[in-house]
Amino acid sequence: MLTVEKIGGTSMSKFGDVLKNIILRNRPAEDFYNRIFVVSAYNNVTNWLLEHKKTGDPGIYSIFVSGGDYRTALKDLLKKLLDINKGFSDIGLDLLVAEEFITGRIRQAENYLQSLSEVMASGYVVRENILHAAREILASIGEAHSAFNSVNILEHHGINASFIDLCGFNDPEPLTIDERIRKMFSGIDFSKTLCIATGYTKGTEGIMREFDRGYSEITFSKIAVVVKASEAIIHKEYHLSSADPVIVGVENSRPVGFTNYNVADQLADVGMEAIHPKASKPLEVANINLRIKNTFEPDHPGTLISKNYKNPEPKVEIITGTDKVLVIEIQEPLMVGQVGFDLGIMQVFQKHKVSYILKATNANSISMVVWDNQQSAGLINELQSIYDTVAVKQASIVCAIGSNITGPGIVARAASAIAQENINIDCLSLSLSQVNIQFVVGREDFRKTIIALNKELCLS
């Protein structure tokens, strides 16, 4: 029974709890093994290396792109990483060994960036390719730091641990991501060592270029498939719950328990990722179940996501959504009966690399919900230059999702719960598969809608 388990950045920053609740908990010495842990960087480290994921505040990568003093920024980063190390001395981290490792990795990264800067200045290469390489180099530092430290701490506790460094800093061989994973895990007897792998994997295709900040879950998924894991587990700082406890209150939020990969995809579509959608597909195809567990509630089985699960009775499992979307509506009296009218609209979407979350149509108009970001701003400008009437409204989208919501009355109950809060529904969508009822409401009504639907559909 070999499991592949991912530990997120927030949990990694509380590695004492990870050690107690996950690695050492209720296990005899001979049962420490047959597990591979894929670790993220400590909390905020990747934000410092690249840019802040939520606020966009610049990190070292942004400084490099602008031609700023990245050397000083790397020195400042090293100080922060060494401070993080000090926080683990009480659970067994050898500070001198850990300092030597991360200092060497930072110096090596600095040399790489200097070389890239000189090549870019020559004008003989495409600047974008150099910047991609810089982003890959910087991203890898955080996971190498946390993985090395973890192995050092485990060895202090008498556990035979192996550092699986997928960053490829000292390996010039041009391998794809899959090839590097297969190479690094070949020949390992998992029954005799606990493997700690970096969430970053170096590959010729560029894991950051392909997946950006979701790369650690891609590594996790690919490892699980390569080693034919019996189960994949993600340890988070919270349960996959019926609704966000921050919004509805912990007492009104329930762990989901069981669901399927289709539901996981629906969640990812509105930004609530149980797992990155491109990481879930390999697991689903390989028929490997995914378990979402709460690091700080180790005795709870969490939520099991499987390929074919269907709730035995019609039930909404999760209420989620976002208040960071726009509704774009194109009105055209001549579109009625015009075959393929929306083809031109979709070509503009494709040009701007914008994917819509919801699409609703009637005889003379098409409404689409998109993320409120810079890409969408460019899309809207072009649509307004082509079509006579293009209305745009800031909005929220709230979804009632479940593996089986086919029962009569669920939509009526949901709409009634929203109406009782005096909230207007701007758009509504439900496909034939009936796994996701999508409601578009005003931004000011987002939290009220989540609370109302959770109370009516998940708690009653």
31 and 143 in a single domain? The answer is yes
231 and 364 in a single domain? The answer is no
pLDDT of residue 400: 97
Quick one: average pLDDT of 170-186?
94
Question: Which of 237, 256, 288 marks a domain boundary?
Answer: 237
Q: Does the pLDDT at position 163 exceed 80?
A: yes
Quick one: average pLDDT of 445-456?
97
The percentage of the chain sitting over the pLDDT mark of 70, rounded to a whole number, equals 99
222 and 333 in a single domain? The answer is no
Q: Does the pLDDT at position 56 exceed 90?
A: no
Quick one: average pLDDT of 398-408?
93
435 and 336 in a single domain? The answer is yes
Cβ proximity of 453 and 400 under 8 Å: yes
Q: Is residue 198 part of a domain?
A: yes
Mean pLDDT of the chain, nearest integer: 93
Q: Is residue 294 part of a domain?
A: no
The residue segments making up the domain with residue 200 are: 3-237
Quick one: average pLDDT of 322-351?
91
User: Between residues 105 and 336, which one has the greater pLDDT?
Assistant: 105
196 and 327 in a single domain? The answer is no
pLDDT tier at 1 (50, 70, 90 boundaries)? confident
Q: Is residue 264 part of a domain?
A: no
Q: Does the pLDDT at position 124 exceed 80?
A: no
pLDDT of residue 30: 61
Quick one: average pLDDT of 62-87?
96
Q: Which residues pair with 162 in a beta bridge?
A: 195
Q: Does the pLDDT at position 145 exceed 80?
A: yes
325 and 202 in a single domain? The answer is no
The percentage of the chain sitting over the pLDDT mark of 90, rounded to a whole number, equals 81
Q: Is residue 310 part of a domain?
A: no
Instruction: Quickly tell me which residue has 């460019």 as its tokens.
Output: 378
- What are 100-114's pLDDT values in tens digits? 999 999 999 999 999
Quick one: average pLDDT of 449-459?
95
Question: Which of 203, 237, 271 marks a domain boundary?
Answer: 237
pLDDT of residue 117: 92
Whole-angstrom distance, CA of residue 167 vs CA of residue 366 = 46
Q: Is residue 289 part of a domain?
A: no
Q: Record the pTM.
A: 0.90
Q: Is residue 216 part of a domain?
A: yes
Quick one: average pLDDT of 12-19?
94
Quick one: average pLDDT of 417-431?
96
134 and 30 in a single domain? The answer is yes
Q: Is residue 295 part of a domain?
A: no
226 and 323 in a single domain? The answer is no
Whole-angstrom distance, CA of residue 370 vs CA of residue 37 = 36
**CATH number for position 206:** 3.40.1160.10
208 and 327 in a single domain? The answer is no
**CATH number for position 432:** 3.30.2130.10
pLDDT tier at 29 (50, 70, 90 boundaries)? low
| Domains held by the chain: number | 2
Q: Is residue 452 part of a domain?
A: yes
225 and 356 in a single domain? The answer is no
pLDDT tier at 28 (50, 70, 90 boundaries)? low
Cβ proximity of 317 and 272 under 8 Å: no
Question: Which of 198, 215, 237 marks a domain boundary?
Answer: 237
